Structure 1
Amino acid sequence: MANFATAEDVSLLWRSLTPDETLRAEALLTVVSDTLRLEAEKVGKDLDQSIADSVSYASVLKAITVDIIARTLMTPTTGQPMVQESQSALGYTWSGTYLSPGGGLFIKDSELKRLGLKRQKIGGINIYGEDTWNTNYPY
């Protein structure tokens, strides 16, 4: 199965890549594509068929794949992957926000929603059972 984007797509849609980043992006393309396929299988959707059915869907899927790879490439391989950090002196306070919490590949819920792989569900359970007391009452 083909990847949803290429290293050239990452370079064109995000920024020019160094040779090391290009190698890393090429390795990530297969992982990201397969991960998205697995997410789609969970909800009974075939991404490869969706690409064949709609050019627009293929374009959105390519953009999301590039976004995931770009976010992974921005995560430093040495040191802490921080995007924001705050420190105080006498109050002994420190806080920080990580780029990818937990490290590794991170796919946002909003990206899965854009692909139609995550939707809100509504449901309810009648814990009292069916009302059989007055069957003539119209509700």
Structure 2
Amino acid sequence: MTEIEGITFATTSDLETLWRPLKFDETDRAEALLEVVSNSLRHEAQKVGKDLDVLISDNPVFASVVKSVTVDVVARTLMTSTDQEPMTQFNESALGYSVSGSFLVPGGGLFIKDSELKRLGLKKQRFGARDIYGTD
């Protein structure tokens, strides 16, 4: 492990300040998730040719945004139950028997939303054109 890999963009204290106090059994999981999410964000930045650690050291405002995104991803993952998928929406019917629902995290696991990557400047709208007529 390199020196940077062990450094997280947020702490459990930040998580409690920006989200909610952690339950006793969530603390170890939160610490592990903070490291995984921080390294996942570093990886996403590397894919587009950026170094988050350098950007953070150059701009304290950006450091706050990275901390916020890290807390959001960890909080969302902590809200996801580890033994069953929580439903965010659920419908029932009676005589015709109909049940439907939407899961909080389809497929489970850690995910970083496109909107969070956009907040970090790692995902931008692209445009381009393709010459369909050729250049002969």
Q: TM-score, normalised by structure 2?
A: 0.91
> Quick one: which amino acid aligns to residue 87 of structure 1?
E
Q: Deviations over 1:67-89 (max 9, x none)?
A: 00100111112222211111122
Percent identity, please.
Answer: 62
* Structure 1 residues not aligned, in runs of 5+: 133-139
Q: Residue 97 of structure 1 aligns to a residue in which SS?
A: strand
Conserved? CA contact 2:85–2:108, under 8 Å: no
Match for residue 51 of structure 1 among 49, 53, 56? 56
Q: Residue 95 of structure 1 aligns to a residue in which SS?
A: strand
Aligned-residue offset at 1:48:
0.2
Q: For residue 115 of structure 2, what is the aligned residue in structure 1?
A: 110
Q: For residue 15 of structure 1, what is the aligned residue in structure 2?
A: 20
Whether 1:37 aligns to 2:26 is no
Q: TM-score, normalised by structure 1?
A: 0.89
Give the distance between the partners of 1:65 and 1:42, measured in 2 at CA.
18
Query: What RMSD over aligned residues (CA atoms) do the two structures have, in Å?
Result: 1.3
Give the distance between the partners of 2:123 and 2:98, measured in 1 at CA.
38
Give the distance between the partners of 1:102 and 1:42, measured in 2 at CA.
24
How many pairs were matched up? 131
Considering only CA atoms, is the larger Rg found in Structure 1 or Structure 2?
Answer: 1
* Structure 2 residues not aligned, in runs of 5+: none
Q: For residue 126 of structure 2, what is the aligned residue in structure 1?
A: 121
Runs of 4+ in structure 1 off by over 4 angstroms are none
